[in-house]
Amino acid sequence: MAKIPHILLIYTGGTIGMVKDYKTGALRTFNFDKLLKHIPEINHLNCTIDSISFEEPIDSSNMNIENWVVISEIIEKNYANYDGFVVLHGSDTMSYTASAISFMFENLSKPIIFTGSQLPIGDLRTDAKENLITSIEIAAAQENGISIISEVCLYFEYKLYRANRTTKINAEQFEAFTSPNFPPLAESGVHLKFNKQLLYKSKVKQSLKVRNQFNNNVVILKIFPGITQNVVESVLNCKGLKGVILETYGSGNAPTKHGL
């Protein structure tokens, strides 16, 4: 008899973890210990679910490197005890966090699925239920006892993307994310269809390594028409600066005028 997958739900903050107080109209943090009360459909999933919440849920606009380390430590600590992980996160910086986590975990053999929502979980028209249910289903999906997904992904509005290929494109529509240069890894319709030829599978069977040492003395310098030498020098002269990422035009073009 096949083992039932065991999934860990990690709530960091964001709209998906909010419910509306209909008397005041205010949003309040959702108690994930009472998850089944709000989403009884989860009972139909072929998996068991535990949840961990940040002590103080974080607005994703305030997400930072220290929080990324906390997420990675939760997953690393529980890695041997679960078959997959679903991280609930605010949408504004979800691509940043999911991308960072994808580079922090080496030799990953289990799914880490990021998701969120545009409306709170208690709203009548919320997208939170579908995003959460399908993310759990993806994290629990196995073939021959092995996880179908073994990388960090982002699921939103019927599509599963490779996390470090995503960007948020819309704050008003449910289809908030896209992957401009890489197709979806899976799509959810009547059936959950995986594009298996696109899935990443590590060829090296080694133990998990988590790299959570960051240097945040790195800056992005975006090139734009009319950029001045003074602006460039101001950025390059930042105290303690260790690296600069140049965001240029097209395939790497930049102004050629003297001084730049």
Tell which residue, 48, 17, 44, 14, has the closest CA to residue 32: 17
Task: For the domain covering 6-210, report its CATH number.
Answer: 3.40.50.1170
The predicted structure's pLDDT at residue 55: 87
Establish how many alpha carbons lie within 13 A of residue 94's alpha carbon, considering only the half-sphere containing its beta carbon.
37
Domain spans, the chain: 6-210, 215-260
**Contact of 12 with 71, CB cutoff 8 Å:** yes
Interaxial angle between packed helices 94-104 and 65-78, expressed in degrees from 0 to 180 and rounded to the nearest 10: 50
Asked whether the beta carbons of 83 and 5 are under 8 A apart, the reply is yes
75: nearest Cα among 85, 65, 66: 85
Equal CATH topology for 6-210 and 215-260? yes
Q: Which residue(s) pair with 249 in the sheet?
A: 253
Neighbour-count burial of 51, counting CB atoms closer than 10 A to its CB (0-12 exposed, 13-18 middle, 19+ buried): middle
Residues catalogued as catalytic: 15
Which pLDDT score, from 0 to 100, does residue 183 have?
97
Give the integer Cα–Cα distance in Å for 120 and 126. Answer: 6
Mean pLDDT for back-to-back runs of 10 residues, the chain (260 residues) = 88 84 72 70 90 90 96 98 97 97 96 95 86 96 94 97 97 94 96 96 84 95 94 95 96 89
Q: Does the domain spanning 215-260 belong to CATH 3.40.50.1820? A: no
